[in-house]
Amino acid sequence: MKLCDILDSPCGIDFYVDSLRFSSPIGRKTLLERRMMTDGDEIAKHYEVLALFYSKVVCNAGVLLKIQDTLQPVKDIKVTLNRLALGAVLDEIQLFEIKRVALVWEKVRRLLIETAGQIEMLGTSESLEDVVDVLDPEKLRIESFYIYDCYSPSLAKIRHRLKISPEDVNLLADEKEEEHAILIQLAGKLKPAAKRLEKALDSLAEIDINCAVADYMQHGSLCIPKISGTGKSMIVGYSNPEVESQVEKEGGIYQYCDIVFKRGVPTIVIGANMGGKSVTLKTVALCQYLLQFALPLPACNATLCVEEKIYLITPEERPSSALSSFGNEMKEIDSMLRSTGNGEKSLVILDEPCRSTNPVEGSAMVEALADLTARRKNVTLILATHYCILPVEECRWLRVIGIENGKMNYALVESSDREIPQEALNVASQLGVDEEWLGLAKKILNDK
């Protein structure tokens, strides 16, 4: 799975990516093409580089701006580099693009070495000065390229004669022939460097990503998480950047919360309507995805397990199909159950499953789902529900504190009481809903 494959996820990862300020198109493109990592060591290596950028590069505004400015003209020229590797003769525009990449690489890698030292993962020890020398025989170190006179004494003589007789057809033909011969020579000289050029282009894209992400860390509340080896995960002071932005636009104050969950022990989240359960679940999914794409989390600190699969099944509207919303949900849960049955380590997040069916059957199905996943010690389940369920297997219960002093407290607290809080009428009252309707509803509840 690639990052671009989950941009339409309801967890809000599209908002996160759009908040990053890339210097070149290849930075964003490379990040979107990054695959989801399931190896903790690989994730840790990416985080080590990011931490270096955050501590050494971003804090030095002058260096950051120089790197970002230098990266701006870089384009994806892998098609050209593939042609070069196959021995094709390149034209002047393609050679100009190669020269520009080599010059940018040399400038950026020197800035990084001076600021942060050698970075093995980015290959900063690999020089492309030899490529620059081939394409810059006059040692001017400027981006422009043309077929220089100094490449060939014969070409220099032909061009000198053309200044006297600029319309001489034979001389013009000789010039073209000599230029083509030089292009063939240049292709032969540059062909051995094709792979190094491609690696440098990849590294420039990664440098752009690290600059953008480290800069985002500097301006937001994000952290580099630790990787858990115990099966226990913890996110402290988490937020959902998209929701936080909306709250702040409306003049509100976003409440940061904490959550702890464990593989093999389902976490059941209960609480009032509008208590933030859905936002919590989406934020946990966002944080898990960010970990596995080696991006910083919107939290004060976090320790998360590495998963092989991530499932976020929510009541969001699904693409039109012949099935009802309940039918679509059943197919998604069934697919998850079949997949997790093979032992893959998986994070499963279910937001009010079976909510669209009758409560008698729905509660039974949710209770069975909690018991079934609890027996699969490879599964980390977080489930939000309004149903009263009594799973046989061990579960951890978290409850949204709810309304306190007339305000909603979104914090989660551990609860031994499995009763679903009855705060719907209080929440409706806080929203200014018709008092006659709520009064009648209270009377019916009291009469039962």
Give me the architecture of the 223-447 domain, per CATH: 3-Layer(aba) Sandwich (3.40)
The per-residue pLDDT for 94 is 97
Tokens of residue 254, six digits: 């976003």
d(CA 143, CA 132): 10
Cβ proximity of 237 and 264 under 8 Å? no
Can you tell me whether residue 397 is helix, strand or coil?
Answer: strand
Tokens of residue 234, six digits: 């913890």
Cβ proximity of 190 and 133 under 8 Å? no
The per-residue pLDDT for 423 is 64
> Mind listing the pLDDT tens digit of every residue in the chain (448 residues)?
999 999 999 999 999 999 999 999 999 999 999 999 999 999 999 999 999 999 999 988 899 999 999 999 999 999 999 999 999 999 999 999 999 999 999 999 999 999 999 999 999 999 999 999 999 999 989 988 999 999 999 999 999 999 989 898 999 999 999 999 999 999 999 999 999 999 999 999 999 999 999 999 998 889 999 999 999 999 999 999 999 999 999 999 999 999 999 999 999 999 877 788 999 999 999 999 999 999 999 999 999 999 999 999 988 655 556 667 788 888 999 999 999 988 899 999 999 998 888 888 888 999 999 999 999 999 999 999 988 888 888 999 999 988 888 788 999 999 876 666 666 667 777 777 767 777 777 776 677 5
d(CA 195, CA 184): 19
The per-residue pLDDT for 358 is 84
The per-residue pLDDT for 382 is 97
Scanning 165-226, the segments in alpha helix (DSSP H) are 169-190, 194-219
Scanning 298-342, the segments in alpha helix (DSSP H) are 325-340
| Fold exhibited by the domain 3-213 | MutS, DNA mismatch repair protein; Chain A, domain 3 (1.10.1420)
The per-residue pLDDT for 405 is 81
The per-residue pLDDT for 22 is 97
Is there a shared CATH topology between the 3-213 domain and the 223-447 domain?
no
Tokens of residue 236, six digits: 């402290």
Separation in Å, CA 63 to CA 55, 66, 334: 12, 5, 52
Can you give the residue ranges of every domain in the chain?
3-213, 223-447
The per-residue pLDDT for 112 is 96
d(CA 199, CA 128): 11
- Outline where DSSP puts E strands in 239-281: 257-262, 267-270
The CA angle 316-343-381, to the nearest 5 degrees, is 40
d(CA 221, CA 237): 9
The per-residue pLDDT for 375 is 93
231: left (phi over 0), alpha (psi -120 to 50) or beta: left
DSSP letter, residue 122: G
Cβ proximity of 98 and 90 under 8 Å? yes
Torsion over CA: 402, 407, 412, 414 (sign): negative
Cβ proximity of 254 and 243 under 8 Å? yes
Tally of CB atoms within 10 A around 391: 20
One-letter amino acid at 436 equals E
d(CA 349, CA 337): 12
Can you tell me whether residue 405 is helix, strand or coil?
Answer: coil
Can you tell me whether residue 401 is helix, strand or coil?
Answer: strand
d(CA 418, CA 399): 9
Can you tell me whether residue 433 is helix, strand or coil?
Answer: coil
